[in-house]
Amino acid sequence: MARIETVAVHGGERRPGPEGAVVFPIYQSTVYSVPPGTDYHDLPYIRLNSTPSQAYLHDKLAALEGAEAGLATTSGMAAITTALHSVLRTGDHLLVGNCLYGGTHDFLTEHAADFGWEVTFIDPQRPDTWEAAPNTKAILVESIANPLMRVGKLREVVEFARRNGLVSLIDNTFATPVNFRPAELGFDLSLHSATKYLNGHSDIVAGAVIGRAEHVERVRTTLNHFGGSLDPHAGFLLARGLKTLALRVGAQNASAQRLAEFLAARPEISEVNYPGLPAHPDHEHAAELFTGFGGMLSLRLTGGAPAAQSLIDALEIPYDAPSLGGVESLITRPAVTSHAGMSRADREALGITDDLVRISVGIENTEDLIADFTRALTEL
């Protein structure tokens, strides 16, 4: 099989493209003439996710993770909520990792009961504590959990799901298909905020569902009813971003590793959370599962929250902003941005204290980033 750099450029491409085009065009038509006998969900209509630009993007997404099928959605949250609605009915039980993306956490704590879903939070590091009940239908974890960059026992999640007949879902936004391809390990569905690394340029909102054809098809019919179909213009930008995914994430892996090592050695820094550091609690199994450790890291300073804010204010290259996965470096305090929706008690139970700083490493020159951090730390 071709390697990820080649798949990012050529995977899922139509060759030759329409009229011989090297770049797949934007098909703006909302509707197409219908071949006789077409099934409702295959009618070529834009909300039904069945038009040429959408089909092209779906094949490209599938190719990236070596999976059977792909589907684009209007956002990462649309991918997550639609996938959950496709596997859960009233009275069903869901197991979820206890350190989730803030939006997913809030969706489950604020809405799951309305749908009659029972939700149990589990520790993804401790397979011995997981239990399935007769009504348990699915398990959802994240490949690298924000913001302490914890990596669960993912192989054991797949085995547990198989043993108990559950659908296994993973939010693979942080690892990206460059570092981890869930289908290869046996996950049924991989979910992405394509707003982040997949698009990579902080200029669209989109999501992706990738995995076994039978499961992706069920998500597609649910999405067709809910209406969260991606517009072809955004889909075009996403496909363009995907072509440089391997180059971008390769650079971000390398730069984050160097920056993490540099920061861990500084006296002003008391803790660096990056799975590529041997001192990280999940380093060993992360190294077995992943081909790279990603571009996200977090840290604490010996000077606490005031020093954390001073560092953020003094840096010149990273923007003081949440979100992640773009070409520009971003730095933020999750307690006041991405996890501000959680109660203080819930946050602190997960280690998301006011002094925690999270960095999304961009593709700037690593030495320039290190020089910026050196200057800002010296000024503290």
Contacts with ligand PLP by CB under 6 A lie at 75-77, 101, 103, 142, 146, 171, 173-174, 193, 195-196, 205, 207
Separation of alpha carbons 196 and 1, rounded Å: 26
- 27, 45, 56, 101: the catalytic one is 101
Pick the closest to residue 209 from 12, 14, 324, 57 (CA basis): 57
* Strand-pair category, 136-142 with 189-193: unpaired
Active site residue 137: no
* Strand-pair category, 207-211 with 69-73: antiparallel
Helix or strand run (H / E) with residue 264: helix 245-264
* Nearest distance in Å: CB 314, ligand PLP: 26
CB nearer ligand PLP, residue 196 or residue 333: 196
CB nearer ligand PLP, residue 147 or residue 232: 147
CB nearer ligand PLP, residue 103 or residue 341: 103
Separation of alpha carbons 354 and 342, rounded Å: 13
CB nearer ligand PLP, residue 45 or residue 188: 188
* Nearest distance in Å: CB 172, ligand PLP: 9
Separation of alpha carbons 209 and 223, rounded Å: 11
* Nearest distance in Å: CB 330, ligand PLP: 12
CB nearer ligand PLP, residue 12 or residue 322: 322
Residue 89: other Cβ atoms inside 10 A: 11
Angle between helical axes of 304-314 and 366-378 (0-180°, round to 10): 130
- 47, 243, 258, 266: the catalytic one is 47
Residue number of the CB atom closest to ligand PLP: 76
Separation of alpha carbons 153 and 261, rounded Å: 24
Separation of alpha carbons 240 and 236, rounded Å: 6
Q: How far out from the chain centre does Cα 94 lie? A: 20
Active site residue 27: no
* Nearest distance in Å: CB 66, ligand PLP: 21
* Nearest distance in Å: CB 141, ligand PLP: 11
- 137, 181, 196, 333: the catalytic one is 196
How many Cα neighbours within 13 Å face the side chain of 129? Answer: 13
Residues annotated as part of the active site: 47, 101, 171, 196
